[in-house]
A = this chain, B = another copy of it.
């Protein structure tokens, strides 16, 4: 399970960088060598590190405050690649996210992020889940 925990740590770091609007931390989380792709909600896919980082700069600079909480994170390690599927809690609703990581020089790095809104909130108390 330790590899799953390492991946979940990397996933948590992504949401910390997101909420803290910390572009440097966000940049460091994305892979340097492997090609990266990012699909923000409603957006077309962005390809390549420059385009992806630029989108995060715009998002993190574009709001005064931003709290993104992650719950229900579930990691699946497939060799040197790992998938995390989780929920994102933002003001206004919940999303489902897929985050894909690869190992680069011993560290799990993001190569893919896609988030899409849940059609409606459910009532199972998920908003009270602890942060992952």
- Interface set of A (CB-CB < 8 Å, partner B): 34-35, 37, 39, 41-45, 47, 72, 74, 76, 78-81, 83, 85, 87, 96, 98, 100, 102, 111-112, 114-119, 122
Please give, as numbers and ranges, the residues of chain B lying within 8 Å of A119 by CB-CB distance.
42-43
Cross-chain contact B85 with A39 (CB below 8 angstroms): yes
Which residues on the B side are within 8 Å of A122 (C-beta)? 44
Interface of A is mostly: strand
A116 B114 Cβ-Cβ under 8 A: yes
Complex Cα gap A72–B98 (Å)? 20
Q: Enumerate chain B residues within 8 angstroms of A115, measured Cβ to Cβ.
A: 116
Do residues A42 and B118 form an inter-chain contact, with CB atoms below 8 A? yes
- Cβ–Cβ < 8 Å partners of A102 in chain B: 78
- B98→A34 contact, CB < 8 A: no
